[in-house]
Amino acid sequence: MSTYLDYLDENALPLMWCPGCGDGTILKALLGAFATLGLKRENTVVVTGIGCWGKADDYIRTNAIHGTHGRALAVATGVKAFRPGLTVVALMGDGDCATIGGNHFIHAARRNIGVTAIVANNLNYGMTGGQFSGTTPVGSRTSTSPFGHTENPFDLCRLAEAAGANFVARTTAYHFKQMGQLMVEALQEPGFSLVEVVSPCPTYFGRFNKQGSASEMWRSLKERARAVGPGGTEAPAEAGSLEAPPDDGPDAPILTGRLVSRHKPSFAERYAAVQATAARAGEGAEPDAR
Residues forming contacts to another protein in the complex (CB under 8 A) are 12, 41-43, 45, 47, 57-58, 61-68, 71, 74-83, 85-86, 103-104, 107, 271, 274-275, 277-279, 281-283, 286-287, 290
Least separation in angstroms between residue 211's CB and another protein is 31
Residue 230's identity, in one-letter code, is P
Please, which residue, 70 or 257, has the CB nearer to another protein?
70
Q: Which of 49, 95, 94, 99 is nearest to 74 (CA)?
A: 49
Please, which residue, 106 or 138, has the CB nearer to another protein?
106
Please, which residue, 244 or 272, has the CB nearer to another protein?
272
Least separation in angstroms between residue 24's CB and another protein is 18
Alpha-carbon distance 136 to 157, whole Å?
15
- The DSSP bridge pattern shows strands 124-125 and 131-132 to be antiparallel
Please, which residue, 252 or 274, has the CB nearer to another protein?
274
Q: Which of 242, 248, 28 is nearest to 120 (CA)?
A: 28
> Residue 92: CB partners within 8 Å, gap ≥ 6?
48, 49, 51, 53, 54, 72, 73, 101, 117, 118, 119, 120
Least separation in angstroms between residue 96's CB and another protein is 12
Q: Which of 55, 17, 69 is nearest to 201 (CA)?
A: 17
Please, which residue, 233 or 275, has the CB nearer to another protein?
275
> Residue 178: CB partners within 8 Å, gap ≥ 6?
171, 227, 231, 256, 257
Least separation in angstroms between residue 267's CB and another protein is 8
Please, which residue, 252 or 276, has the CB nearer to another protein?
276
Least separation in angstroms between residue 193's CB and another protein is 18
Alpha-carbon distance 38 to 17, whole Å?
27
Question: Distances in Å between the alpha carbon of 119 and those of 2, 73, 77?
Answer: 25, 11, 16
Least separation in angstroms between residue 231's CB and another protein is 33
Least separation in angstroms between residue 71's CB and another protein is 4
Please, which residue, 110 or 219, has the CB nearer to another protein?
110
DSSP annotation of 154: P
